[in-house]
Structure 1
Amino acid sequence: MDFPESGPARRAPHLRSLRIWSDIHTWTSLICTGFLLLLCLTGLPLIFHHELNHALGYQPDLSKGPDGAPRVSLDRVVEAAYDRRPGEVIQFIGFDRDEPHLINVAMGRSIDSPYEENNLVAIDWRGGTVLEAPKPSEGPVAFLLKLHADLFLGLPGKLFLGLMAFCFLLAIVSGVALYGPFRGKLAFGTVRHGRARHIAWLDLHSLVGIATLAWMLVVGTTGMVNTWADLMLKLWQGGQLAEMTGRYRDAPPPRRLASLETVVSHARAAAPDMTLTLIAFPGSILTSRNHYAVFMAGASPLTARLLKPALVDGETGTLTELRDMPWYMQALMLSQPLHFGDYGGLPLKILWAILDLATIWLLVSGLYLWIVRRRRSVARAVAYPSRASADGEPAE
């Protein structure tokens, strides 16, 4: 954005403040623009990841399942998983929120093997039929998700993208600080088409930026929080989880695991108004070697994302403790679906996609305006070298 660059007015405190905000807006935008374009372009199809995976065949098809058939016991589900992949052990059992009859059983070589190496067994809860295995790590959607989440660099990639998200938030805040002084007495939405082309682009850039402000703040903040997921999980494991399982620290592991149906019935009795989301088997990353962790969630669209772990003794099947997760884990659980608009079904996803496209245009237009400004500055420095030096512009 251009401000007066000569004379006493330039040294006025409020103009000096505007110059600082302008520099912050320019450089934070330049630092993160390339990566934000990548994130917006990859994030656009990821908004519809569930629909795309179904259409491309990477999610099990439950449309031909036995409607009305009674659900089998969870112990039968465990047996079916072990029959499908003998020699492996169950780490987790997940219950799909969008497909209530689908159970995903994650199995590994050992109970503590890396979860990224797990194999999934999909089971139709109606009758216990083993389905074609889901392929969450295969296909174009998985490729885009990995690129979007960490640039294929693991935790360093996530933290780097978190830094880019922070720059994005600084660019938004500085843009808001500049909006009022820059627009002056112009009516909201005014686009000055009769002047130079870059003036019209600047007006449009400001209009789209202020119109998408709330959405960009939400997506930028949730994106930054999501990059800290691994660190938050480790903090929870070393904090609340260690405290909840402290008295079992020196206890031997279970000689024989309790019936999963018994384990879940005790967890449900302690939280009767909540739904089953995930079961972590004793020794896996989300629990201790002595406990099942049964993660329960609320019934409303908002509380369905907030998990409450019930720790159940792995040998006796009795409830040990039930607690709300700490605030930082709750913030993470709310951020993950909100980032992709996964709260209000297809209408909200379409709105998210439109706002994503608007942000792509905003980034491109900002880059165009910076290039125009640089060209004008260079041309001015060449034409008036002494003035450029006096004003603090480089004289080339």
Structure 2
Amino acid sequence: MTNKALRQWSWVHKWTSLVCTLFLLLLCVTGLPLVFYHEIEHVLGNEVEAPEIENPGVNASLDTIVTNSKAHFPGKQLQYLSWDEEEPALVYAGLGDELDSEDGNRYLALDARTGEALGEIPFQGTVMFYVYRLHVDIFAGLAGKLFLGFMGLLFVASIVSGIVVYSPSMRKLDFGSVRHHRPRAVRWLDLHNLLGIVLAAWMIVVGGTGASIRGRIWFSVWRNDQLTEMLGAHKDNPRPETPASLETAIQTARDKVPGMIPSFVAFPGTLYSSTGHYTVFMHGDTPLTSKLLQPVVIDAATGDFTDTREMPWYVTTLLISQPLHFGDYGGMPLKILWAILDVITIVVLVTGLYLWFRRRRPNAANRFADDAEIAPRYAGAPAE
């Protein structure tokens, strides 16, 4: 690589890193507790557990669960029902002031065997709620999600450019060298380079998936694209005053995609459905297919099948990205590994900031030391 090309890549690495570092620190710090979200909620007592009952038998009718959900929160609109993948005795209901509202929603846990309401699941106003919102959209809605997604892309660019710069700048040192006998700035630079290159692949995966899962924009694209095609001439059907049996709609969905099980159902008028249809999202029962969804559209007035299709590639990418981003597909060992790598990433970001601010210090001796030891790495000259 020529000195000019190396300087160009160094410029890209420096500025992409500087622009995104503070926001990446925020994402890493807030992402750490989110890795253990369920465990923390359990410790805080914010999870609802299904009681033990004798002879549980057949599950309650979903229509009974719908009735009990509405009765628990009178005046609220039932938006979604979802099933707990790990605890089949639990069903969750999401209700809002309006069918398409997201703010102020309430979440209720119900016993799938009896249909009885077990209690509200606290979310808004909890510690984890504020951590989640900081991580997802910094309390700025869609604009915040898109902004943090862009920061994720800059992070990926800084990692890629750092990989390009690493090899020529370290060609006279053994891989992983940390020169403990040199000045502090040099030691921190070596540590920054070592941790960065070792974690490069993981950081690209987490940064890239983090950028891809920001916001519900992909589901909005799906709704305006594929869902509209699936509805065809029925896309403007009005919302029925008395919807068809949800139990029948779910059974129809099971019959149309055998081997799959319900993940959640979106009621008519919600963000993931149309005004006149249920959308039942089904998933598989293997480790991979359990993360993928296939929508089955059911006419909410008659309970008749309308259409089903596999999700488009961009939604499939989103669904696969989520477990990769949070490390929640391999149990506690993988979560611990993700947490350790997150902490190391924080060290990489902090050392990068330290090196930048040290070079900006006005003391001439410091500038000379930094220029003599650090600048050659970014100017194409071999490291000592």
Contact 1:66 1:127 in 2 (8 A): no
Stretch of structure 1 that moved more, 247-256 or 184-193: 247-256
**Cα distance change on mapping 1:250 and 1:217 into 2, 3 Å:** closer
Deviations 1:266-305 (A, max 9, x none): 1001112112111111222211122110000111222211
Deviation at 1:67, TM superposition (A): 6.4
Alignment of 1:212 with 2:199, yes or no, is: yes
Deviation at 1:96, TM superposition (A): 1.9
Q: How many angstroms apart in 2 are the aligned matches of 1:363 and 1:167?
A: 13
Equivalence map 1:1-396=2 (5 Å): 14-62=2-50, 64-66=51-53, 69-70=56-57, 71-112=59-100, 114-227=101-214, 229-375=215-361, 379=365
Q: Flag the structure with larger Rg.
A: 1
Deviations 1:298-332 (A, max 9, x none): 11222211110000111221211111111111111
3-state SS of 1:243 partner: helix
What code does the residue aligned with 2:316 have?
Answer: Q
What code does the residue aligned with 1:159 have?
Answer: L
Q: How many angstroms apart in 2 are the aligned matches of 1:315 and 1:237?
A: 20
- In the other structure, the counterpart of 1:387 is none
Q: How many angstroms apart in 2 are the aligned matches of 1:344 and 1:139?
A: 27
What code does the residue aligned with 1:278 have?
Answer: F
Q: How many angstroms apart in 1 are the aligned matches of 2:201 and 2:81?
A: 37
3-state SS of 1:245 partner: helix
Contact 2:236 2:275 in 1 (8 A): no
> TM-score under structure 2 normalisation?
0.90
Stretch of structure 1 that moved more, 371-380 or 262-271: 371-380
4+ residue segments displaced more than 4 Å: 376-383
Q: How many angstroms apart in 2 are the aligned matches of 1:215 and 1:53?
A: 27
What code does the residue aligned with 2:96 have?
Answer: G
**Cα distance change on mapping 1:127 and 1:177 into 2, 3 Å:** same
Contact 2:104 2:124 in 1 (8 A): no
- Alignment RMSD, CA only? 2.1
Q: How many angstroms apart in 2 are the aligned matches of 1:253 and 1:33?
A: 47
Q: How many angstroms apart in 2 are the aligned matches of 1:249 and 1:22?
A: 52
Contact 1:302 1:343 in 2 (8 A): no
**Cα distance change on mapping 1:250 and 1:29 into 2, 3 Å:** closer
Stretch of structure 1 that moved more, 123-132 or 214-223: 123-132
Contact 2:159 2:200 in 1 (8 A): yes
3-state SS of 1:324 partner: coil
**Cα distance change on mapping 1:149 and 1:211 into 2, 3 Å:** same
**Cα distance change on mapping 1:128 and 1:19 into 2, 3 Å:** same
Q: How many angstroms apart in 1 are the aligned matches of 2:146 and 2:364?
A: 36
Structure 1 unaligned segments of length 5 or more: list them: 1-12, 384-392
Contact 2:358 2:366 in 1 (8 A): no
Q: How many angstroms apart in 2 are the aligned matches of 1:206 and 1:119?
A: 47
Q: How many angstroms apart in 2 are the aligned matches of 1:266 and 1:239?
A: 24
**Cα distance change on mapping 1:189 and 1:252 into 2, 3 Å:** closer
3-state SS of 2:103 partner: helix
Deviations 1:233-253 (A, max 9, x none): 221111111111121135444
Contact 2:36 2:335 in 1 (8 A): yes
Q: How many angstroms apart in 2 are the aligned matches of 1:299 and 1:200?
A: 50
What code does the residue aligned with 1:153 have?
Answer: A
Structure 2 unaligned segments of length 5 or more: list them: 370-378, 380-384
What code does the residue aligned with 1:29 have?
Answer: S
Deviation at 1:183, TM superposition (A): 1.3
Q: How many angstroms apart in 2 are the aligned matches of 1:380 and 1:348?
A: 42
Contact 1:172 1:217 in 2 (8 A): yes
Stretch of structure 1 that moved more, 119-128 or 172-181: 119-128
**Cα distance change on mapping 1:68 and 1:361 into 2, 3 Å:** farther
Contact 2:361 2:367 in 1 (8 A): no
What code does the residue aligned with 1:349 have?
Answer: K
Q: How many angstroms apart in 2 are the aligned matches of 1:314 and 1:185?
A: 70
> RCO (CA 8 Å, sep 6+): is it higher in 1 or 2?
2
Stretch of structure 1 that moved more, 77-86 or 48-57: 77-86
**Cα distance change on mapping 1:286 and 1:20 into 2, 3 Å:** same
3-state SS of 1:209 partner: helix
> TM-score under structure 1 normalisation?
0.88
What code does the residue aligned with 1:293 have?
Answer: T
Identity %: 47
- In the other structure, the counterpart of 2:376 is none
Stretch of structure 1 that moved more, 250-259 or 125-134: 250-259
Q: How many angstroms apart in 2 are the aligned matches of 1:378 and 1:39?
A: 35
What code does the residue aligned with 1:38 have?
Answer: L
**Cα distance change on mapping 1:67 and 1:59 into 2, 3 Å:** farther
Deviation at 1:174, TM superposition (A): 0.8
Q: How many angstroms apart in 2 are the aligned matches of 1:180 and 1:211?
A: 13
Deviation at 1:136, TM superposition (A): 2.2
